Structure 1
Amino acid sequence: MKSENFKRFDLKPFLIEALSHQGFTLPTEIQERLIPAIKNGRDVIGQSQTGTGKTLSFLLPILDKINSEKNEVQAVITAPTRELAGQLFDELKKILEFSPEGEEIQAKLLVGGTDRARAIESLKVQPHIIVGTAGRIGDLIDDQALHVYTATMLVVDEADQMLDMGFIADVDKVASRMAESLQMMVFSATIPEKLQPFLKKYMTDPRHVQVEPKHVTATKIEHRIVPLRHRDKISFVVDIAKSINPYLAIVFTNTKEQADEVADAMLSAGLNVERLHGGLQPRQRKQVMKQVKEVKVQYLVATDLAARGIDVKGVTHIINFNIPKDLDFYIHRVGRTARAGLDGVAFTIYEDHDQQAIEKLLKRGVPFTYYDFKQGNWVQLDRAPLGVPGKKKVNRTAVETTSKTKPKEQKRTGGKAVARAKSVKPGYKKKARFKKAKEDQRQRRINKKK
C-alpha cells in the first residue's frame, strides 16, 4: 500500500516507500502544517506534546533536501539527552534503509559517554547528517574533527528541556559555527520566555505551529489516583507493583535518591527491576535501556529523564511515586503507555499536600478515578478522600471488593468519616417558625388570664 497522502508533499520516492513500509498513510496535523514550510526553507517552531508525529515532520523534509553527492555536513539535529538523540537516530536509520543504491545518505550519532577518539576517527569522511547532544557536537567542532560550517539546517528538539538542563548555551555555540544562511527548526512542548532571546538571535519570521492533542492524554489510559493515608510510601509502592504483574511498568520518582530507594526496595522484594536516572554513568544508562528494549526487565524505576520522548515499546503500567512539580511531566510520564492503540494504566500515589496539583490536572482534562488498595484488593471509591473533588458516579462492574455488603452511606470531612445528616422535607423551616409563633401566642393568652 502506498502512502498516497504523503505524495502531496512531493517527497523523494524512497521516503514514500519508507513511510509505506512503516504503515504511515495519513500525515498528522503537525506534519501537514510544517513539512511544506521546512521544504521551502523557512524557520519553524513546532509546539506540541509527545505523540503528535513531530519527528517525521522534520526528518522527512530534511532528508528530501539532502544532496547525497556532496560529502559534507548539511544538517545537524540536537537533543538534550543521549537517550533522546539515540531514539531520533533510530528513527532516521529506519528511513535511510530505503535510500537508493549509489545515493545513500550518511548519518552519524554523536553523544557523550562514548569513545571520543573513535568518534574523531569516524569523522574522517564527513556525514550528511549529524544527530547528537549539543555538548559532544561542540567538543568535536573544537577538535576540528567535525565541520558544520557547511550545514544549513539545524534542529533543536525538546528545546524547553534544553533550557531547563542548561544546554542552550551549547546549542548556541554549535549554531554560531554553522552556515550564515541557517534554517532553524525548534520543537518544544512549551516555549518559555527565557527561550525567546535564543530564538530571536537565529530565526527570521518563523512559522509557529502549535498543535494541541485531541485529548490531553491517550484515551486508552486509565488514570487511578490512590491515597497514601498512614502507610509507608516505599512499602506501598512495592505492594502496588506486586499487584499488577505488568509486561513492563515504569515507576517515576522526582529525584534520583528516591529512585534508588524504591529500586532497592523492589529488588529486596524479589522483583525484576532496573533503574534509570542522571546519577548513572553513560555506559550504565545505555546498558539499562538495552535491557529494557530487549524485554529483560519487568519494572524500570526512573526520574523524568526517561519521560520526555523516550519510546519504549510494551509499557503497560505507569506508577507515579509522587506527582511531578512541573505538571507537564505528568502528561509526559503517562504518555509512555497506551501507545500504538494499546491500553495502559497509570497509578498515582497522593498525599494531603497534592490536592491542588490534582485539581489542576482535573481541570486540564485528566479523567482520574479514585481507588484504594486494601488487603491485596483494588477498591474503587465513589468520591476522593481528603476533600479532593472526583466522580460521584461509580461503575460498580469495575469495583473489586472482598465484601458484597453495601457500606453505610457516609460523607468525608477533613479526611474523617462522619454519619450523613438525616434528610429533611422541604419547607421545614417555615413550618417550625409557624409552630413557634402559635406556641408563643398560647403562652401570652395564659399569662393574660393570670
Structure 2
Amino acid sequence: MTFADLGLSDELLRAIGESGYTEPTPIQAGAIPPVLMNRDLIGIAQTGTGKTASFVLPMIDVLAHGRARAMMPRSLILEPTRELAAQVAENFEKYGKYHKLSMALLIGGTSMGDQQKALAKGVDVLIATPGRLMDLFGRGKILLSGCSILVIDEADRMLDMGFIPDIEEICSKLPATRQTLLFSATMPAPIKKLADKFLSNPKQVEVSRPATTNTLIEQRLVETSSRGKREALRAILAAEDVRTAIIFSNRKTTVRELSDSLRRDGMAAGQIHGDMEQAERIKELDRFKAGEINILVASDVAARGLDIKGVSHVVNYDVPWHADDYVHRIGRTGRAGASGKAFTLVTPDDGEAIEAIEKLQGTKIERVGGGKPAEARATAPVAAPVEAEEPRGDRKRGRGRREKPKSEAPREVQAPREEIVEAVPEQPAAEAPPGREPREARPPRQAREPRPERARRDEPGRDEPRREEHRREQPRRDHRADRDDGPDVGWNGPVPSFLEVSFGLAPEA
C-alpha cells in the first residue's frame, strides 16, 4: 500500500515524497481513511509508529477548503507538553508547505503577546497545551465555537499529568457537531470513559497490544551499583556503534550533573529538563538534531513524542518510576523501521521496578554479565555488614547486638532479681541508727512543732554531722532494686535520717 491509495491530495503526496516516505505505517493506513471521511477516531498505537502523521496528513486535506476567522481557530490539537506541541507544528510545516494553511502554537514559555496577535488574524490549526489554552480562554482572547476538528493526543499522558478535567471543560465549549480524534498508547478506564462521553460512534484502530515495546529495539539490563553507574555509562558510550544517544534520568539535578561530567570527559553532550526555559530546550533539541552534539541527557519531559531520527542508543541511567515511562523512553530509538539499542543501568534496589516493566512487556529483558558486576564487587565492603547479619529471629534474642560492648557491661555485673532484694536487708521497726531513740518513743505527730524547713536548712553546718554519721553507718543501697517489676508494697524499713531532720528533731544529748 502507498500513500496514494489512502486518498490524499497530489500536493500532500508531493510533500510526503520529498520528506522521504513512500509507504504508510500500520497506524497511518488504518487512521487516515476514516479521518478523511469525517468520522470520530480512537487510535491506539505505541510510540514511534508514525502516529502524529496519521492525523496531521488528513487534517491538511480536510482544512484545505475553508477560511479562518479572527480569534476562532478551525481546528484544535491538544498536546500534554511543549515539546510535543512543537513537534506537531513541525509536521504541519513539513507536510503542508504546498497548502495555504495558517497555524499558531499556543504553549507556555513563549510570548503571549505574539500568540494573541496570531489568533487575532485567524488560524486554521491551533496547537496548544491545556494550561495556556485555558488561560487565554479565561481572558477572552480566543473563541472555540468555530472549531470543527479536535485532536486529543497522548491521552494517557494527559491523564498522568492531571489534564483530564481541563480537557473535559474544553470539550464542553466546542461545537457538538465537531469531529474528535483521540490517540493514546494505552486505554485505561478514565480514558475509555472520556472517549465514551465526547466521541460519537468512533472508529477504533489498534495496531499493537497496549504498552508493548518495539521489537526492533534490542534491550539490555546492565547490572551495576550506585557508585558504579557512571563508569558503566562511559563503557556503553565508548562502544563503536554509538552514533547518537539519549540518556534519561529521573531527577533534574542528576541531568545537570551528568551532562557536565560527560562534557568534562570530552564528549559532545547537551541537556534538557523542566527547569530550562522553553527557548533553551528548543535550542538544545535543534543542536542534537543538527549533529552539533550527539549525546542528550534528559529528564522525562523529553521521554514522550519527540521524533528525532537516527537515535542509535537510549540509556536509562535511572530505572523509571513507572513502567509505562520505560516504554516511551526507549521508543526514542528504533523509529520508522530502524533498529536501536536500549540499555538500563540496574542496581540491587531496582528489582521491583524491573519486575513491573517485564510484567508490562510480557517478556524478560536480558541481563548483561549474568552476575554481580565489577563495580558492585568493588564496593562490597560497604554491603558486607548486611550480608553478615544473623537471622532475624536471633536478633530478637539479643544476639545481633554483639558489636555494641557498652550494652553488654551492665548485663555481666547485674545480679539476679533475688540478690537485688537481699542487698537491702529489712530491719526491725524498733531499731534505729546509733544515737537515735526508738521509733515508738517519738512524740505524736500532732505534738510536733511546725516544720521550719527553709530556716533550718539555711543554718551553716546544721546537718553535716548527722549526714556524715549516716553515711558511715548505713550500707549503700543498690538502686537497681528499683527495677523490680513486682507490686508496690510500701516502705517497711527504718525512716531515713534526712526525713527525721526535716521534722525538726534535735539529736540526743
Name the TM-score class by shorter chain: 0.7 to 0.9
State which of 238, 245, 249 in structure 2 corresponds to 1:243: 238
Q: Which has the higher Rg, Structure 1 or Structure 2?
A: 2
What does residue 402 of structure 1 align with?
none
Deviation at 1:86, TM superposition (A): 0.6
Return the letter of the residue paired with 1:26.
Answer: E
Answer with 257-266 or 77-86: which moved more.
Answer: 257-266
What does residue 319 of structure 1 align with?
315
Cα 1:214–1:42 shift into 2, 3 Å: closer
Deviation at 1:136, TM superposition (A): 1.9
Deviation at 1:189, TM superposition (A): 0.6
Deviation at 1:367, TM superposition (A): 6.7
Answer with 25-34 or 90-99: which moved more.
Answer: 25-34
Please state if 1:198 is matched with 2:198: no
Matches within 5 A, 1:116-127: 116-127=112-123
What does residue 94 of structure 2 align with?
94
Whole-Å Cα distance in 2 between the matches of residues 143 and 233 of structure 1?
52
Deviation at 1:250, TM superposition (A): 1.2
Q: Is the 8 A contact 2:76 2:127 kept in 1?
A: yes
Cα 1:42–1:242 shift into 2, 3 Å: closer
Please state if 1:175 is matched with 2:171: yes
Whole-Å Cα distance in 1 between the matches of residues 254 and 363 of structure 2?
25
Q: Is the 8 A contact 2:211 2:324 kept in 1?
A: no
Return the letter of the residue paired with 2:83.
Answer: E
Please state if 1:30 is matched with 2:30: no
Please state if 1:153 is matched with 2:146: no
Whole-Å Cα distance in 2 between the matches of residues 76 and 119 of structure 1?
15
Please state if 1:12 is matched with 2:9: yes
Q: Is the 8 A contact 1:238 1:266 kept in 2?
A: no
Whole-Å Cα distance in 2 between the matches of residues 78 and 278 of structure 1?
19
Whole-Å Cα distance in 2 between the matches of residues 198 and 219 of structure 1?
30
Please state if 1:334 is matched with 2:330: yes
Percent sequence identity is: 34
What does residue 84 of structure 1 align with?
84
What does residue 263 of structure 1 align with?
259
Answer with 188-197 or 117-126: which moved more.
Answer: 188-197
RMSD (Å), alpha carbons: 2.9
State which of 105, 125, 128 in structure 2 corresponds to 1:109: 105
Cα deviation 1:129-178 (Å, max 9, x = unaligned):
11121222232333333332111110011011111112223333332222
Q: Any idea what SS the aligned residue of 1:97 has? A: coil
TM-score when normalising by structure 2: 0.66
TM-score when normalising by structure 1: 0.74
Q: Is the 8 A contact 1:52 1:213 kept in 2?
A: no
Kindly indicate which of the two structures has a greater share of residues assigned to strand.
1
Cα deviation 1:382-439 (Å, max 9, x = unaligned):
x4559xxxxxxxxxxxxxxxxxxxxxxxxxxxx9xxxxxxxxxxxxxxxxxxxxxxxx
Whole-Å Cα distance in 1 between the matches of residues 232 and 253 of structure 2?
15
What does residue 188 of structure 1 align with?
184
Whole-Å Cα distance in 2 between the matches of residues 204 and 68 of structure 1?
24
Whole-Å Cα distance in 2 between the matches of residues 212 and 384 of structure 1?
34
Deviation at 1:306, TM superposition (A): 0.9
Q: Any idea what SS the aligned residue of 1:244 has? A: coil
Deviation at 1:289, TM superposition (A): 1.7
Please state if 1:300 is matched with 2:296: yes
Please state if 1:232 is matched with 2:227: yes
Deviation at 1:13, TM superposition (A): 2.2
What does residue 284 of structure 2 align with?
288
Q: Is the 8 A contact 2:185 2:210 kept in 1?
A: no
Cα 1:52–1:344 shift into 2, 3 Å: closer
Return the letter of the residue paired with 2:137.
Answer: I
Ranges in structure 1 where 5+ consecutive residues have no aligned partner:
372-380, 387-414, 416-450
Q: Is the 8 A contact 2:155 2:182 kept in 1?
A: yes
Q: Is the 8 A contact 2:319 2:344 kept in 1?
A: yes
Deviation at 1:26, TM superposition (A): 2.7
Whole-Å Cα distance in 2 between the matches of residues 266 and 241 of structure 1?
13
Deviation at 1:251, TM superposition (A): 1.1
Return the letter of the residue paired with 2:55.
Answer: F
Q: Is the 8 A contact 2:49 2:336 kept in 1?
A: no
Q: Is the 8 A contact 2:224 2:232 kept in 1?
A: no
Deviation at 1:185, TM superposition (A): 0.8
Q: Any idea what SS the aligned residue of 1:121 has? A: helix
Ranges in structure 2 where 5+ consecutive residues have no aligned partner:
374-386, 388-509
Q: Any idea what SS the aligned residue of 2:120 has? A: coil
Whole-Å Cα distance in 2 between the matches of residues 366 and 216 of structure 1?
10
Q: Is the 8 A contact 2:311 2:334 kept in 1?
A: yes
Whole-Å Cα distance in 2 between the matches of residues 67 and 174 of structure 1?
25
Return the letter of the residue paired with 1:98.
Answer: Y
Cα 1:114–1:355 shift into 2, 3 Å: same
Cα 1:359–1:215 shift into 2, 3 Å: same
Q: Is the 8 A contact 2:45 2:210 kept in 1?
A: no
Q: Any idea what SS the aligned residue of 1:124 has? A: helix
Cα 1:356–1:292 shift into 2, 3 Å: same
Please state if 1:273 is matched with 2:299: no
The alignment covers a number of residue pairs equal to: 371
